[in-house]
Amino acid sequence: MTLPERIDADWISGLTNEQLQRAEAQLRKDFSKEEATERKRLGSAYDLMRGPESLMKAWLRWSLVSNAVRSRGLRVSYRR
């Protein structure tokens, strides 16, 4: 799935439940990668809200879609 640069309510509303779940999984993966990089770099000084723009952008994109998944009553299984 190709994700747009700017995620908004119009884009989200145009997705099926399955597409929304796939987008959420991909964005979660992207955010987790950014977060792991920052945690490794900063250690105990890590603070999400003081992270670089790339981390905040990844978090925002994921949180918008994650909230939409929850508002539709859907669940996403994460592999660990």
7-65 pLDDT per residue, tens: 999 999 999 999 999 999 999 999 999 999 999 999 999 999 999 999 999 999 999 99
Per-residue burial over 55-67, b if 16 or more Cβ lie within 10 Å, else e, is beebbebbebbbe
Q: Indicate the DSSP class of residue 53.
A: H
pTM for this entry: 0.89
